[in-house]
Structure 1
Amino acid sequence: MAQDLVPVPPVETCPSIPHPDSARRCLATVAPSLPDDSDLVAFFDQPSSAPRWSSPTSTGLFGQPSFGTPAGFHDLALSTLLRAHLLTERIVRARQSRDELKKVVKNLDRLSDMLCSVIDLAELIRNSHPNQEWVESADEAYKRCCEYMNVLNTHVGLYEHAEREGTRRESRKSTGRVALPPKDLEIYRQISWTQTTCKTHYHRGSGKILILGRQFLNQASNAKPPAAIKPHELKDLKDHGLGSRLQLQTRFTQRDLLVYPGSLQAQMIMRSAPEEEPRRKVYMASNSSSPEQVEVLEALLRTRGQLAQLVGSQSFAHMTLADKMAKSSENARQFLDTLYRDYDCPPEPPAPPIVLPPLTLGVVFRGLSRLFQHLYCVSLRPADVSAEEVWHADVRKLEVFDEKDGLLGWIYSDLFARRGKSSGAAHYTVRCSRGTDDDDEAGDLLPDVEHRPLLDLSREFGAAYRHKMLDGVFQLPNGVLTLFHEMGHAMHSMIGRTEYQNVCGTRCATDFVELPSILMEHFLGSPTVLSLFDSGDNSAVRQVGNHHEDPCHNIDTHSQIMLAVLDQIYHSPEAMEPGFDSTAALARLTATRGLIPFVEGTSWQTQFGHLFGYGATYHSHLFHRAIASRVWQEVFMEDPLNRKTGKKYKREILRHGEGSLMGGDAEAMREEDEVAVPVRH
């Protein structure tokens, strides 16, 4: 029997001092009649009311006049590189002054921030902007800043200061504003760059990795060649809708039906074709690669391995994980082996179904705002934009308000698929929170001044999500779950208030970054939280179907374990051996761990885009899924809207970022057997 929605307690009044930027108080209840609620629903679901264009003043992307044309990226890259060079020289000269030595950590963080901000902004624009001129300009800025960052990674003067601060870090008491050298200088722990030849090889190798990585991602997202299905192979299709139309088409044309991987036709054939041959053809087309694609991937893996050996590491995985929680590839593999052993046991029965109200994007964002108000006294509000401020009319701008602190920052939501936009869900940190009161680049800054974060949330919902209720069992869960995940990242970035940007929000280490986002997914499974979606008309809730636990959940998690193991293999010493074959390595792994036998002629690994972005760290997502499950069960599950619990999590975890949990996470990593179990649920 389906569980009823649990009544939601009233939101407590926040004990705070009114802020000039925050005229509205926290919600007294979750009643939908408040302006914030109705505004959010209309903002996302009614095209006539959104976007809310402001006065037609001359501006550019993100409200910056300097980004009125693509040439703005060229100017930004040049000015940033000049500032970075001047700041680098200042850090190197710091030993000449005691006052300057005190500012080294801050200046290292500023150096990292000014480069990362341009790189992250360029990454967003080159993946989302519909204008090719903007894409090319952003891509050029991205490359130039990354190349300069690679130069800094071999700068002896910076290394000496970063190493000195790193050795002093352990004896420094944390005051909630964590002092850490930028993560971009981690490479120095491996080698002292005193030989010009080594630095030259490192620069070339790093640049080659960027080029190969971009090529690999482009190929992974390109359309694949179609499968040619014979007319007689469509006989007796069980699908009487699309299947009947395809049968009529082939009989009329007497030609092979070209079915593209990932299309509705491909999905229908895999699901409904009684003949084996058409299903085999579609499967092969969906999981095959060209020799050129395989070579690009293997060249990327070889170059990474060579770079690691250049700095004295056994492999790229060993170099990458040396200062991470896992410490070594062997430890990461042991953790994954433990998870695999646990998933070899029969899964527990799924939870009872939970009734869902009708959901549109506006209703989901309204529910998220209500949830954040209950937990953090934070709300989402529609914001006005100028036409030049966004790169597409689909983009919506939200203001994030805290009852005590006022305006926290802004979220640009780009949620619909379109030609030229990168696939998948993404969270871009255009500007990260950090303290700027002691930047020492201007004398008019007030005490305790901080950057307000500016983020972009990217998704690729289809046209069906725009104007109709989402009441399908198969269509709804993944889309809403992804929004909850990405908004977990967003709140992490918005609430984070650290002195240094490289430990704040999504700029923190991979070891920590996924915990807040995965924890948010658990809230979606709570009947109490789902009540926040209710419009107040209880009859509407009863008119829709049930949301069931995904029947393929355990299969999906098993696949994630497989991908994490493959990530370790591809970045291990094995990848550096002569004649290494990435397809053969995938086949061996599938033979020993896979649920479905490997099919000769396939080479799915070229579609695993995270091999570039997560190289050797893909297992961290699984690890933090286990940790998030434990946090949910022990802290939030019994009373998920508890204000006291939410404020403690906000104050002690989200606000202080990576530095607040690393000790506890390291301890959890050593308890692999205990950690492995909760991830199943």
Structure 2
Amino acid sequence: MRGAMLCARRLGGLRARLGARQVSTSWSPVGAAFNVRPQGRRLDLFGERQGLFGVPALRAPEGFRVAQERALRRTEQLVARACSLPPGPQTVLLFDELSDALCRVADLADFVRIAHPEAAFREAAEEACRSIGTAVEKYAEKGGFCQTLICVNRYYYLRVAELFMFDFEISGIHLDNDKRRRAVDLNVKILDLSSTFLMGTNLPVKAEKHLLPERVWHHFEVAGDHVVVDGLRAEAPDDLVREAAYKIFLYPNAGQLKCLEELLSNRDLLAKLVGYESFSHRALQGTMARSPETVMQFLEKLSDKLSERTMKDFEMMRGMKMKLNPQNSELMPWDPPYYSSLIRAERSSVEPGTYGPFFSLGACMDGLDVLLGRLLGVSLRVQQPAPGEVWAQDVRKLAVVHESEGLLGYIYCDFFQRADKPHQDCHFTIRGGRVREDGSYQLPVVVLMLNLPQPSRDSPTLLTPGMMENLFHEMGHAMHSMLGRTRYQHVTGTRCPTDFAEVPSILMEYFAADYRVVQQFARHYQTGQSLPRSMVSRLCESKKVCAAADMQLQVFYAALDQLYHGPHPRGRCTTDVLRATQERFYGLPYVPGTAWQLRFSHLVGYGAKYYSYLMSRAVASMVWRECFLQDPFNRAAGERYRREMLAHGGGKEPLLMVEGMLQKRPSIDDFVNALVCDLDLDAESFLADSE
């Protein structure tokens, strides 16, 4: 009776909060959970606090040291066992358990070090990452224990064993002692240079005020006799502000230039030391593309196909610039973001803010729940985190449950803005799935991190179309983690080649742009009115405005990345390579006295792999058109998608997974045509007839 009264009071309070804000009460449980402002952790007052993610040691920052020491002890034991066994499947299992022991600390710490609101936790996690990294390098120096992987002969075991060997070989595990020490030293140097370069990509630049017209000073921070430029101001309406920001922010910095040259040179030295022609050849082993030659062929063919469309986009931008600024109508590299946004707004004829009330966060989560249920038999169920389990009170926990297989794993949704939180939308693997020694399955745990506005007293969080698309994108990664139920955690979920890893997430963007999907959830949070189909059509059309020029820019970036990581010595400095590549692959002139490459932070994390997003988008486009365009809720196609593309994680060659899904092996021309086809589709054929 007392429990029933308490339940009634809680439900009454929930209705009162919903009613006070005039929020529609027809949401599913998952929708309601994300449309209600969190009310503090009342349960924190009772019982013992758990640690982060339910790890008992992580009740306090000091627990990271306990966790890492425990993982390293376990690793020593597993290494000893692996060395004592003859080569075979058991060897691979032991190495996977070793990898799991390290990753369960390192992956968790990698998330906490950037996302936890408390500095003590961030610092302890940073130290844990360093300690685990040092331990891995120490094992690499030993050398002998990896030889047991070489003789494994069954295909699935062989694939995983080869991936382990590939990871070890970059540390020179197969080399003699002197060369192995050299490889380890190069790895350490590359890590240091990468960190230094990354920090330099965001450093502001000071310029003397008198060099700029006084009317633009107020657009920048003023420090005495200087203005401080901390970004490109790409959306500034004033042409002069954009030009000044571009030329000042991208002015060559000698220290950063030297750092980049050394980073590229040391990557090349390491690749050659461990047996590759170039860093790009090493980085592309095991990917869909497989070789730098294939990547460049893909980029060159795509550039040629885009050329005419890109020129038309630039002409539209020139026309807009001439209309607004007849005295200075030449299109320059600092212009496209601003003028393309004006053209999109003009074509759309719908104010961007008009969409928000239809895209409340709860409504979008409802839509995901419906789509995943109909397509894959998966539902999202809200769970109350235990005290101490999450790092911020507005983090939601979802259990992912299959209609016949039961619980698949957990997703922690860290969706809302807070002080010192990184401004990036991303997916983190906290724990990978794998089959344990006793036959049970270790459930995957992931975090989805977004930067959405907090709900207000009067409304839930309302998403822009871009935010809604990003939510679907990141959930694509999460489903890959949940449904990639591999035997080994080393290849679980998103632990697959970079040019395949974005396919599931980009595919979700196609669902998010289809009216048959959108109409399932996009309704006004107050009135319940559905989003008009015409608004979805205009949104899709506006996204294609100047899309060829946007894609051409990505081709330029990807080509530059390949050339930087190709055979050395290049005989030219990175700025000369930039100038030549921009002239070949973009179409707008290089600006003398600038060095954009010194701000290209993706050279660190995506070295030789920046093309991956384009190739993943091409695959997603083919899968969408051939399998889901006619019916986005096609359960048979959804099951095939899970079976052929999601279930293997990284345990199968990516091109074989694509071939299994499409029932053919795509050629480079197929990849290129898929990307160009997306630019040409009109809204109605893209959405298909849903009536």
* TM-score band w.r.t. shorter chain: 0.7 to 0.9
- The unaligned stretches of length 5 or more in structure 2 are 1-22, 314-343, 679-691
- The structure-2 alpha-carbon separation of the partners of 1:104 and 1:128, relative to structure 1 and needing over 3 Å to count, comes to same
Shift in Å at residue 528 of structure 1?
A: 0.5
Query: For the Cα contact (< 8 Å) 2:88–2:149, is it kept in 1?
Result: no
Counterpart selection for 1:602 from 590, 594, 606: 594
Amino acid at match of 2:37: P
Equivalent residue in structure 2 for 1:86, among 56, 77, 94? 77
Deviation at 1:494, TM superposition (A): 0.7
CA distance in 2, matches of 1:466, 1:435: 46
Deviations 1:295-343 (A, max 9, x none): 3333222221111121132211112223433332122111111111121
CA–CA distance in structure 2, aligned partners of residues 78 and 312 of structure 1:
34
Say if 1:653 and 1:660, in contact at 8 Å, map to a contact too.
no
Bigger mean CA deviation after superposition, 76-85 or 417-426: 417-426
> Aligned residue for 1:205?
186
Confirm or deny: 8 A CA contact 1:498 1:656 kept in the other structure.
yes
**Is the CA contact (8 Å cut-off) linking 1:363 and 1:533 kept in structure 2?**
yes
Alpha-carbon distance in structure 2 between the residues aligned to 1:453 and 1:519: 22
Tell me, yes or no, if the aligned pair for 1:316 and 1:571 is still in contact at 8 Å.
yes
Determine the C-alpha separation between the residues in 2 that align with 1:543 and 1:623: 30
2:560 matched to 1:570? no
Q: Which has the higher contact order (CA 8 A, sep 6+)?
A: 1
Task: Quickly say closer, same or farther: Cα 1:607–1:370, change in 2 above 3 A.
Answer: farther
Q: 1:548 to 1:52 in 2, by over 3 A?
A: farther
Cα distance in 2 between the residues matched to 1:72 and 1:209: 30
1:238-282 deviation line (CA, Å, top 9, x unaligned): xxxxx9xx69x99xx99999575459xx456x32x2xx5333212
Counterpart position of 1:524: 512
TM-score, structure 2 as length reference = 0.78
Quote the Cα distance in structure 1 between the aligned partners of 2:643 and 2:82. 33
The AA in structure 2 aligned to 1:366 is D
Aligned partners of 2:34, 2:274: CA distance in 1, in Å?
A: 50
Structure 1 unaligned regions, length at least 5: 1-31, 236-242, 439-444
1:374–1:145 distance in 2 versus 1, CA, 3 Å:
same
SS at match of 1:107: helix
Q: Answer whether contact 2:484 2:648 (CA < 8 A) is retained.
A: yes
Q: Mean alpha-carbon deviation: is it higher for 639-648 or for 178-187? A: 178-187
Cα deviation per residue 1:196-215 (whole Å; 9 max; x = unaligned)?
A: 11111111111222222233
* CA–CA separation in structure 1 for the residues paired with 2:434 and 2:55: 20
Give the Cα separation in 1 of the matches to 2:110 and 2:479: 21
Residue number in structure 1 paired with 2:470: 482
- Alpha-carbon separation, structure 2, partners of 1:604 and 1:418: 31
Shift of 1:378: 1.1
Aligned-partner Cα distance in 1 for 2:378–2:66: 36
Contact 1:77–1:141 (CA under 8 A) maintained in structure 2: yes
Q: Is the 8 A contact 1:583 1:605 kept in 2?
A: yes
Say if 1:455 and 1:599 are closer, same or farther in 2 by CA, change over 3 A.
same
Rate the CA distance shift 1:539–1:214 in 2: closer, same or farther, 3 A.
Answer: same
The answer to whether 1:46 aligns with 2:36 is yes
2:549 equivalent among 555, 562, 581: 555
Matched, 1:294 2:257: yes
Q: Secondary structure at the match of 2:398?
A: strand
For residues 54-203 of structure 1, what are the structure 2 equivalents within 5 Å? 55-95=46-86, 101-153=88-140, 155-165=142-152, 168-169=153-154, 172=155, 180-181=160-161, 183-186=163-166, 193-203=174-184
User: Is 1:676 matched with 2:668?
Assistant: no
1:421 aligns with: 421
Written as runs of structure 1 = structure 2, the 5 A alignment for 1:483-632 is 483-535=471-523, 539-542=529-532, 546-549=538-541, 550=543, 551-574=545-568, 576-577=569-570, 581-632=573-624
Does the CA-based 8 Å contact 1:284-1:601 persist in structure 2? yes
Whole-Å Cα distance in 1 between the matches of residues 53 and 559 of structure 2? 40
Residue 376 of structure 1 corresponds to which residue in structure 2?
A: 376
| One-letter code aligned to 2:34 | F
| 2:283 alignment partner AA | T
Separation of aligned partners in 1, 2:370 and 2:24: 13
| Matched-pair contact (CA < 8 Å) for 2:373–2:379 | yes
- Aligned pair count? 606
Pair 1:345 & 2:313 matched:
no
Is contact 1:42–1:49 with CA below 8 Å preserved after alignment?
no
- Give per-residue Cα distances to partners, 1:80-100, cap 9 Å, x unaligned: 1221122112111112xxxx8
Instruction: State the Cα RMSD in Å.
Output: 3.7
Match of 2:19 in 1: none
Determine the C-alpha separation between the residues in 1 that align with 2:612 and 2:424. Answer: 19
Residue deviations 1:597-654, cap 9 Å, x none?
Answer: 2222322223322222222122222112111111100001100012222122223332
Aligned equivalents of 1:511, 1:633: Cα separation in 2: 19
Contact 2:382–2:397 (Cα < 8 Å) also in 1: yes
Counterpart in 2 of 1:460? 451
Q: How many angstroms apart in 2 are the aligned matches of 1:228 and 1:518?
A: 44
Find the counterpart in structure 1 of residue 399 from structure 2.
399
Per the TM alignment, residue 286 of structure 1 is displaced from its structure 2 partner at its CA by 4.2
User: What amino acid sits opposite 1:284 in the alignment?
Assistant: K
* 1:316-371 deviations in Å (ceiling 9; x for gaps): 11122234333321221111111111211327999999996711222212211111
Distance 1:541 1:325, change over 3 A: closer
Secondary structure of the residue that 2:30 maps to in structure 1?
helix
% same residue? 33
Structure 2 residue identity aligned to 1:673: D
Amino acid at match of 2:444: P
Report the residue type matching 2:165 in the other structure: L
Q: Which amino acid aligns with 2:483?
A: I
Q: Which amino acid aligns with 2:291?
A: S
1:65-107 deviation line (CA, Å, top 9, x unaligned): 2011222222222221221122112111112xxxx84411111
| Aligned match for 1:277, one of 240, 260, 265 | 240
Q: Amino acid of the residue matched to residue 674 of structure 1?
A: D
Instruction: Report if the CA contact (8 A) 2:37-2:455 is conserved.
Output: no
Distance 1:291-1:510 versus aligned 2 partners, 3 A rule? same
Listed one character per residue, the Cα deviations across residues 43-63 of structure 1 (whole Å, up to 9, x for unaligned) are 333324577856553222112
